[in-house]
Structure 1
């Protein structure tokens, strides 16, 4: 078949999404950096004297240095074997908070 929808080796059944099964050292460092930047923004808003419901919820979240490595780099999922999967497997994982996980998992 020719044209825009021609068969390629990838579309014929190869590994299409090459997502690594674990985070690299660089990506882990980026996660820690991102968490620290969020902590700095929350602290700056708190110091400015603003009062709102979202700030109260944000202050209840653990800071980056208080989180376990398990909570920084993995998220709870009922479908995985150990009830955890890598944070990079979550859609839009840089945009939503993953700081709260069920206790014990």
Structure 2
């Protein structure tokens, strides 16, 4: 085929998004820094005296220094081998609270 609709390697089944299978050192550091910033915001809101249901739920979440590395960098997945997958494989993982995982895996 020639012209405007010429097939590309992606159209032939190549990888469109090349997601690495593990987090790099830089992405791990950024994830830890993001967790620490969230902890600081939760503490600041608590100190201001605001009371709401979402804040009560946020206070029950573990802090960054209390989390296991397994919980920091992986999430539960019933389809993945070993029932865990990297947090970077979750859509919008930088905007979600992924601090609580099922225990025992």
Residue 70 (1) aligns with residue 70 (2):
yes
- CA deviations on 1:16-47 (whole Å, 9 max, x unpaired) are 22000000000000000000000000000000
Q: What is the aligned partner in structure 1 of residue 81 from structure 2?
A: 81
Give unpaired runs (5+ residues) of structure 1.
Answer: none
1:31 aligns with 2:16: no
* SS in structure 2 of the partner of residue 85 of structure 1: strand
SS at match of 1:9: coil
Whole-Å separation in 1 of the counterparts to 2:6 and 2:36? 46
Aligned positions of 1:80-99 closer than 5 A: 80-99=80-99
Unaligned runs of 5+ in 2: none
1:9 to partner: Cα distance: 1.8
Task: Give the alignment's TM-score, normalised by structure 2.
Answer: 0.95
Q: Distance in 2 between matches of 1:98 and 1:41?
A: 16
Aligned residues: 104
Aligned-partner SS, 1:13:
coil
Structure 1 moving runs of 4+ over 3 Å? none
* 1:22 and 2:28 matched: no
Structure 1 length-normalised TM = 0.95
